[in-house]
Structure 1
């Protein structure tokens, strides 16, 4: 945990933004794998962590703005619990570290909420993303299960997004720690991969780096020789000479802040000439995006700059043709770049995505596009100092998509399908790094990691 003054100040800022009512924050529950006592790794809700700081299950917190009180609800360990888990700090001790000095049994929460409802008090809650918390909210607040997301408090969502989007120096330090561990994870993958190994063997080593550093993964490792599949997790696929490996991974610190990096590297000691050419197109697009990062610019426009750079490179090698800006405006480039350039990052690797992309990545004046490719851009809004985000362009040659677009005759003014056919077994390339938006531009987070083709080959 940070010190209690930080959590108290965060709650005070939240109360000032929401102004009235009662804020209900729920911790996550334990989740069983295949029988009750065999549990998945516990991960606390990030907004609960941000405002309350207690990293244990089966809790709730009430921030009552109207009555100026803060309460943590939860049940202390019984002796039966202690026999299996050992002694732990009490909830009361942990709450005090957060600056909250009132702790009550979880059973008292229902009574408090019924009293608040009877008095006509507004109860603010966040959209639930886990079934157990959704069921509790439905029972406590007498809201149909299916209606919970639509009844979640928009003022609370907007207040939390505004607050969590700006990272403090302490948060940036934790994120840099996570990125540093992620660099070590990438180095393990790049240096250990060899022809004849399986993707699973490499991924196991990569995860070991994260766990050994005292945290865990910020998301399941994406490690594959089929880089054209955007989120393809490792399998028993055997690495073969001539292939490339795409590794997208991230560490989560013990404070639960995330890192997220991608590198693409050859199974052999060097890229083939064609692989290197395509790699350098992606690298140029990433650099163009990085150079554009600054406060006030729409990240959607940074995305489009990267798309234009990708299209220009593809035109240079004959896969695209015509006016680059017009090709991107019409969406022809999305045959090769189907996703967004990046996303916010912090306590979640896709920060605050549970609160809704419409609030995190967009505004009332800037709505998310429904166009193929652009609809997958999670962040479009103007950048502000304190934002932490990823920049991750790529080129992905998806055989099924190529065949569909060619059969439909899509964008024939911009795409040379005859030449694209030769790339159906090429795979995909992505390069990803994490950045802090500063007052004048941006700053790369974490320790450096080679990303040029020559640098990657040197590591191999």
Structure 2
């Protein structure tokens, strides 16, 4: 294993070099057959209400291949019969009037110069040029589940272009014979991160860890959950992670037993825990960290017992990560450990082996142990799930994942002693698989009871 400590003063990489996106395109080209064409579309702006839009979020596969962060664009990758490669970008044109109102556009000349595309055209040329590129190709790759330009899905747009090609048959046109989904190929590429991607995610973790520290320091009884959320978002943006990677969860007391609680609207109460699941996005790459701590800075005995059990389970799972291991193995040891711990606490009762075989722990550990992490917080990549729902994909160096065990005991659970009710604890770290074992990226935020209480004792 390894643990690379990074301070905020050491942060230098805030986005991937544009040359890295060219490497991503080259890696995809290597997976594609000759005489093929690949179409990958950018995202559209989404209306929030009337004439205002949500903040733009690029299609992650498109971003992975281009680094280009404007809407309505299209990437075309052509591989000839001889294996020659050509990358073509269609993007919005320079428009002085539009740019006065809505901001600058990159334009075709700068896109070709800075982003390494072979050719760039305005989006108005898509419907005339794409059918020409399709004509004569044997195989077309595109995202089967992607949304389209002016239709419900991208497939409809592709079929429109193919129909145009079909109309040229009497003039010697040739319609591609095979349509294939490019998304699984891209997912397999994205699941293994480069050294620059890992460096960027390491920095996203440092920033996000600092935000969690800020939340602990500013937490006090009587504040509202959204006020703590504001502290977190401030810290993200202040350190150049302008956006959260996902909706921030700030869940006090029994709200922690709602897994994706994002209302963040309740006041914080004495003698309750606060669960925060929050990660910043840096250069498009996500951190995903969860910490749970007492609102008043001191764990109660019952809270300590549950918290320590979850922390020990998390560390047990993390320490088992190495090339060749898999989530199924980690789940087995974690579930067995948590089952034994819940029996010792009197929350579960009965024969240990039977409880383990019946997965009794699932009543309190109600989600998976972890997931891939990258450009998406729940990143793409096959888990190789078998008929028993076991995730058997062997870990490889360069994979990045979360490990996030939790125990959730809602107030409504009258089957347990009252002291346990309303406790929800999750602890989540971000882990890179290395040649030697693993690197824990989440080293910049306290996790032990002693360290959390010491940090919170410094509250203003």
User: What TM-score comes out, normalization by structure 2 length?
Assistant: 0.85
Aligned counterpart, 1:244: 273
Counterpart of 1:141?
A: 158
Q: CA RMSD in A?
A: 2.3
When structure 1 is superposed on structure 2, of 326-335 and 71-80 the one drifting more is: 326-335
Aligned to 1:174: 200
Give the structure 1 partner of residue 7 of structure 2. none
- 1:440 matches 2:430: no
- Change in Cα spacing, 1:328 to 1:278, as seen in structure 2 (3 Å) is same
**Could you tell me how far apart the structure 2 residues matched to 1:58 and 1:274 are?**
53
| Post-superposition offset of 1:350 | 1.3
Residue in 1 that maps onto 2:59: 45
Which residue does 1:158 correspond to in 2? Answer: 184
Q: Which position in structure 1 is the counterpart of 2:69?
A: 55
Q: Is the 8 A contact 1:74 1:105 kept in 2?
A: yes
Deviation, 1:448, is 2.9
Corresponding position of 1:25? 40
Whole-Å Cα distance in 2 between the matches of residues 339 and 152 of structure 1?
A: 36
1:308-363 superposed Cα distances (whole Å, 9 cap, x missing partner):
111111011111234445423322110000101111111111112xxxxxxx2423
Q: Can you list the C-alpha shifts for 1:48-78, whole angstroms capped at 9, x where unaligned?
A: 1111111111111000123632110122131
Shifted more, 163-172 versus 421-430: the winner is 421-430
| Aligned 8 A contact 1:18 1:159 in 2 | no
The aligned counterpart of 2:124 is 107
Q: Does 1:7 align with 2:21?
A: yes
Matches within 5 A, 1:230-241: 230-241=259-270
273 and 129 in structure 1: CA distance in 2 versus 1, 3 angstrom threshold: farther
Q: Does 23-32 or 60-69 show the bigger shift? A: 60-69
Choose 388-397 or 94-103, whichever is displaced more: 94-103
**Alignment-derived partner of residue 383 in structure 2:** 362
Residue in structure 2 matched with residue 320 of structure 1 by the alignment: 348
Whole-angstrom distance in 1 between the partners of 2:179 and 2:350: 47
CA contact (8 A) 1:92 1:101 kept: no
Displacement of 1:128 after TM fit?
A: 3.4
In the TM superposition, what is the alpha-carbon distance from 1:116 to its structure 2 partner?
5.1
How far apart are residue 424 of structure 1 and its match?
Answer: 6.7
Write the distance in 2 (CA, Å) between the matches of 1:434 and 1:75. Answer: 37
- Distance in 2 (alpha carbons) for counterparts of 1:239 and 1:277: 21
Distance 1:129 1:9, change over 3 A: closer
Name the residue aligned to 1:211.
237
Q: Distance in 2 between matches of 1:117 and 1:50?
A: 23
Distance 1:35 1:325 in 2: 59
Shift of 1:210: 1.2
Unaligned runs of 5+ in 1: 144-150, 353-359, 404-416
Matches within 5 A, 1:79-94: 79-94=96-111
Structure 1 equivalent of residue 295 of structure 2: 267
User: In the aligned structure 2, how far is the partner of 1:22 from the partner of 1:114?
Assistant: 11
1:351–1:188: structure 2 CA closer, same or farther, 3 Å change rule? same
Equivalences for residues 368-387 of structure 1 within 5 A: 369=388, 380-387=392-399
Counterpart in the other structure of 1:146: none
TM-score normalised per structure 1:
0.85
Unaligned runs of 5+ in 2: 1-14, 161-177
Deviates more, 1:294-303 or 1:13-22: 13-22
Structure with the largest fraction of helix? 1
Alpha-carbon separation, structure 2, partners of 1:293 and 1:325: 25
Q: What secondary structure sits across from 1:142 in the alignment?
A: helix
